[in-house]
């Protein structure tokens, strides 16, 4: 195998990143409710520290403050996951920033990139609608041209970070007469515009997602990102920027180590089924990690990962239910004791991990993800 | 961890694929090709591909051996390449801690004059001279056993037909051998190094066997996809149905990760063959499960036709079953990985396997 960034350099940076993150770890990272004000404040603090280290936008081009360094970026992502570094948004750094760099006008880059790279601006993605989930091309939200602006009407659903975002990458139908995939454009808009309202939907994990309603919202024409009516293509490319998902297997590795440590301390490790279950999940995580690294590898070769990135997602979606079931099997009723209760194993984290096992819908569920891989990866026939 | 074959590796893989395919593999009568495969492997330097040049090899590594093992599996050959290569590599790595006899054995194996086998790597019986399920190529064999703190060669190399043969499910290509108890034994390695060599050989064998299984799964995936495109039911190709698409996707997902993991483990073992690298255990446990699942799903896709004895799927199945058993049970494989987690050696482990 060819190593573009020498193995010694990688190992050295990995150690540096691991040592630094280990020195930053705070117990609250694991005890706070996700998206509580305290948690988000810690997320902002860590963003700031990553910026100071020069690690926040390692993957961005040098002319925009990055280092063109996908490998070190991937290592940082992994370590952020492993140490469960709190987050504050993330779409700007991973998706919208790179999309702006590729499709944005010079004015858009000047306006939006610096605050994203300084961690001052949170961006959400406004793609999904009530009747446009797996089938995004079915979106109905409209942006109708009117003189020097567009008027946006409709709703977006399941919008992560929507309640604390400064702006939104919005997909809207700009040509109702065109074929579903061809009449969509994307805009980068201010979330404080008159006519935008955000309503909460609270999830099983305590996260908040949102309904975002647009009631005749006027958006300037210069908010259009990329080519008009080519938004579907732009969306697909934008979502490909950060699809390695390397933080996720790393995060679950840390969680599984939590479980193993608990089993060691409590004697659960004497149970053969516990040892075997942990071993099976660990092997799966190692395999998933390789799939994620392949995505990085393809990106480094200049390719745009397609089904390979979907495969990384599938590994996540197939891991979650296995992990939830394993935790139920290992801990039994004790695993359901919530955070804050004296009897809660791992200070209630097990109970939260079990709830998180059902978080499998993002960017398409398990069926949809398999469909995508079958068609793009294996060229399976359509009916 | 940039995953890209270099030019030499690509050439080696393509050459191995072409040679194995030319010999017929699962599409032929199998056994008849094995002597020819061994001859070719010897001629092309495959048997010493992992070994340093001063040990009679070509200076590659275990990744290169894995590429060959994978292509053999893809063509339906499950012979002794993986085991012989693993033992050679482990013995060669001992340097002066091994005897001259061991060094000679490594050279002979690299040249194709002898095929090395481990006695009882993972079988339940503890009888010291009982050899497990093995796959014969055509070379004389040397059986290694570990007794106390010695690694011994069981007798002089003998032709396989001098051993007792028991037909097993993989039929003619695979036999179970009981080595004669009265053969003279040669000590190859003594002291701690004996255990190290034994464990390293097993560890490497298991990873190479994992790549062999993954190679076979690649073939199964091709079979399943091709069939699902042409087989019409209810007016459509069955590959257009979601259930079938999901089955083949699962095969692809499993084999992709199994390959990446196994080759990553082989790269790490090339550098640290005597270290109990967690990633090696993960590669085996995951590949074993992925391969088993792939076999079952391929039968699901093919239905009755795959169950016909002459169908390649059945031929692959017979060939793969002994490999499954040689890796130990799922539970054993999983426990080995669990031990690594128990020792707390994961992403921050400094030793290469979990580094980038």
Question: Residue A266: which CATH number?
Answer: 1.20.140.10
Note the pLDDT of residue B112: 87
**How far does CA A113 lie from the centroid of its chain?**
19
Check residues B343 and A283 and name the one with the higher pLDDT.
Answer: A283
In chain B, the number of structural domains is 2
Task: State the smallest CA–CA distance between residue A106 and chain B in angstroms.
Answer: 33
**Same structural domain for residues B87 and B187?**
yes
Q: Of residues A243 and B262, which shows the higher confidence score?
A: B262
With a cut of 70, say whether residue B64 has pLDDT above it.
Answer: yes
Q: Is the pLDDT of residue B138 over 80?
A: no
Confidence of residue B33 (pLDDT cuts 50, 70, 90): low
Residue B161 has pLDDT above 80, yes or no: no
- For B271-321, the pLDDT digits (tens) are 999 998 889 999 999 999 999 999 999 999 999 999 998 899 998 998 898
Is residue B131 within a helix (H) or strand (E), and if so which, with residue range?
Answer: strand B130-135
Average pLDDT, chain A: 92
pLDDT above 90 covers a percentage of chain A that reads 79
A367 and A260 together in one domain: yes
Predicted confidence at residue B325, as pLDDT, reads 84
Strands A149-156 and A196-202: unpaired
Same domain, residue pair B222 and B250? yes
Q: Are B54 and B69 in contact (CB under 8 A)?
A: no
Candidate from A39-53, A120-134, B132-146 with smallest mean pLDDT: B132-146
For B245, the closest of A260, A287, A380 (CB atoms) is: A380
pLDDT at B194: 87
Distance from CA of B122 to the nearest CA of A (A): 18
Residues 29-88 of B with CB under 8 A from A: 63
Shared domain for A195 and A255, answered yes or no, is no
> Do A131 and A232 fall into the same domain?
yes
- φ, ψ (nearest 5 deg) of residue A176: -65, -15
Domain assignment present for residue B348? The answer is no
Q: Which residues of B touch A377 (CB under 8 A)?
A: 249, 252
Range of the domain at B311: 210-342
Residues of B in contact with A287 (CB under 8 A): 257-258, 260-261, 282, 286, 290
What's the pLDDT band for B59 if we cut at 50, 70, 90? very high
Residues of chain A with Cβ-Cβ distance to B260 below 8 Å are 287, 290-291, 293-294
Rounded CA gap, A110 and A263, in Å? 52
Residue-wise DSSP of A64-125: GT----HHHHHHHHHHHHHTT---S--HIIIIIHHHHHHH--HHHHHHHHHHHHTT---EEE
Tokens, residue B23 = 């010999």
Nearest CA-CA partner of A136 in A363, A376, A365, A369: A363
pLDDT at B144: 73
B195-215: average pLDDT: 94
Say which residue, B98 or A87, is predicted with more confidence: A87
Q: List, as one string, the DSSP characters of A279-331.
A: HHHHHHHHHHHHHHHHHHHHHHTT---SHHHHHHHHHHHHHHHHHHHHHHHHH
**B30 and B156 part of one domain:** yes
Which parts of A129-271 fold into alpha helices (H)?
231-241, 247-266
Domain count, chain A: 3
Q: Which of A189-203, B176-190, B269-283 has the lowest mean pLDDT?
A: B176-190
Question: In this structure, are A256 and A361 located in the same domain?
Answer: yes
B20 inside domain: yes
B27 contacts: CB under 8 Å, gap ≥ 6: B76, B312, B315
Cβ neighbours of A374 in B, within 8 Å:
245-246, 248-249
Do residues B157 and B114 lie in contact, with contact meaning Cβ atoms separated by under 8 Å? yes
Q: Report d(CA B173, CA B313) in Å as an integer.
A: 16
pLDDT in tens, B67-89: 999 999 999 988 789 989 999 99
Q: Which domain holds residue A127?
A: 123-239
**B137 has a pLDDT exceeding 50:** no
B256 vs A: CB within 8 A? yes
Which among A301, A380, A383 has the least Cβ separation from residue B248?
A380
Q: CA-nearest residue of chain B to A21? A: B348
Average pLDDT, chain B: 82
Kindly state the average pLDDT of the residues A266-278. 96
Distance CA A45, CA B287 (A): 41
Give the pLDDT band of residue B27 (cuts 50, 70, 90). low
CATH number, domain of B77, equals 1.10.540.10
- Asked which of B193, B219, B254 is the last residue of a domain, the reply is B193
Could you report the predicted ipTM of this complex, rounded to two decimals?
A: 0.92
The per-residue pLDDT for B128 is 35
pLDDT-wise least confident of A340-344, B7-11, B330-334: A340-344
| Measured distance CA(B23)–CA(B21) in Å, rounded | 5
* Smallest CA–CA distance from B249 into chain A, residue: A374
Is A148 found in the same domain as A201?
Answer: yes
Q: What mean pLDDT is predicted for residues B241-259? A: 98
Most confident residue range from A53-67, B130-144, B164-178: A53-67
- Calculate how close chain A gets to B72, using CA atoms only, in Å: 20
Radius of gyration of chain A (CA): 21
Residue A1: pLDDT band (50, 70, 90) is very low
In a domain, A359, yes or no: yes
Neighbour-count burial of B276, counting CB atoms closer than 10 A to its CB (0-12 exposed, 13-18 middle, 19+ buried):
middle
């Amino acid at each position: 195998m060819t190593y573009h960034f020498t193995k010694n350099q990688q190992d050295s940076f990995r150690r540096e990143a691991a040592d630094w993150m280990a020195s930053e770890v705070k117990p609250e990272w694991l005890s706070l409710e996700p998206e509580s004000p305290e948690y988000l404040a810690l997320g902002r603090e860590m963003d700031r520290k990553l910026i100071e280290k020069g690690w926040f936008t390692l993957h961005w081009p040098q002319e925009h403050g990055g280092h063109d360094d996908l490998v070190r970026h991937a290592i940082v992502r992994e370590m952020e996951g492993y140490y469960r570094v709190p987050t504050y948004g993330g779409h700007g750094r991973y998706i919208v920033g790179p999309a702006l760099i590729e499709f944005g006008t010079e004015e858009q880059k000047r306006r939006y990139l610096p605050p994203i790279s300084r961690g001052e601006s949170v961006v959400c993605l406004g793609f999904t609608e009530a009747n446009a989930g797996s089938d995004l091309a079915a979106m109905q939200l409209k942006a109708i041209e009117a003189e020097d602006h567009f008027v946006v009407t409709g709703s977006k659903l399941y919008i992560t970070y929507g309640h604390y975002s400064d702006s939104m990458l919005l997909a809207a139908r700009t040509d109702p007469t065109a074929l579903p995939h061809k009449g969509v454009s994307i805009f980068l808009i201010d979330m404080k515009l008159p006519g935008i309202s955000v309503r909460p939907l609270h999830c099983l994990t305590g996260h908040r997602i949102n309904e975002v309603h647009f009631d005749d919202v006027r958006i300037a024409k210069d908010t259009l990102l990329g080519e008009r009516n080519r938004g579907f293509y732009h969306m697909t490319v934008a979502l490909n920027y950060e699809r390695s998902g390397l933080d996720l297997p790393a995060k679950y590795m840390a969680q599984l180590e939590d479980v193993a440590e608990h089993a060691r301390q409590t004697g659960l490790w004497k149970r053969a089924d516990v040892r075997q279950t942990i071993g099976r999940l660990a092997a799966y995580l190692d395999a998933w990690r390789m799939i994620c690294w392949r995505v990085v590898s393809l990106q480094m070769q200049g390719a745009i990962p397609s089904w390979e990135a979907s495969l990384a997602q599938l590994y996540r979606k197939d891991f979650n239910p296995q992990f939830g079931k394993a935790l139920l099997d290992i801990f039994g009723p004790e695993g359901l004791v919530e955070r804050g209760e004296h009897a809660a194993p791992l200070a209630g984290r097990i109970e939260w991990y079990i709830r998180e096992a059902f978080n499998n819908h993002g960017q398409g569920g398990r069926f949809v993800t398999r469909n995508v891989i079958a068609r793009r990866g294996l060229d399976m026939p359509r009916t | 961890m940039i995953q890209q074959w270099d030019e030499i590796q690509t050439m080696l893989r393509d050459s191995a694929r072409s040679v194995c395919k030319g010999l017929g593999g699962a599409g032929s009568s199998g056994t008849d090709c094995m002597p020819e495969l061994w001859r070719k492997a010897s001629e092309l330097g495959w048997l010493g591909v992992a070994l340093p040049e001063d040990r009679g090899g070509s200076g590659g590594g275990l990744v290169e051996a894995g590429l060959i093992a994978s292509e053999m599996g893809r063509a339906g050959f499950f012979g002794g390449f993986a085991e012989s290569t693993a033992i050679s590599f482990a013995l060669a790595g001992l340097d002066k801690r091994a005897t001259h006899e061991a060094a000679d054995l490594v050279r002979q194996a690299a040249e194709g004059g002898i095929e090395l086998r481990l006695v009882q790597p993972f079988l339940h019986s503890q009888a010291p001279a009982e050899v497990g399920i093995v796959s014969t190529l055509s070379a004389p064999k040397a059986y290694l056993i570990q007794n106390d703190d010695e690694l011994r060669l069981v007798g002089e190399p003998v032709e396989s037909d001098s051993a007792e043969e028991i037909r097993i499910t993989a039929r003619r290509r695979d036999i179970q051998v009981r080595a004669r108890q009265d053969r003279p034994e040669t000590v190859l390695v003594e002291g701690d190094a004996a255990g190290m060599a034994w464990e390293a050989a097993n560890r490497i064998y298991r990873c190479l066997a994992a790549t062999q299984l993954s190679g076979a799964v690649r073939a199964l995936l091709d079979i399943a996809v091709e069939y699902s495109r042409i087989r019409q039911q209810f007016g459509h190709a069955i590959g257009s149905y979601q259930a079938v698409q999901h089955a083949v996707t699962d095969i692809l997902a499993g084999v992709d990760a199994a390959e990446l993991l196994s080759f990553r483990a082989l790269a790490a073992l090339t550098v640290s063959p005597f270290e109990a690298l967690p990633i090696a255990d993960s590669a085996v446990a995951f590949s074993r499960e992925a391969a088993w699942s792939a076999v079952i799903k391929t039968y699901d896709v093919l239905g009755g036709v795959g169950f016909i004895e002459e169908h390649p799927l059945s031929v692959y199945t017979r060939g793969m079953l002994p490999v499954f058993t040689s890796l130990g049970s799922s539970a054993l494989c999983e426990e080995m990985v669990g031990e690594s987690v128990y020792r707390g050696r994961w992403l921050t482990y400094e030793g290469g396997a979990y580094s980038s």
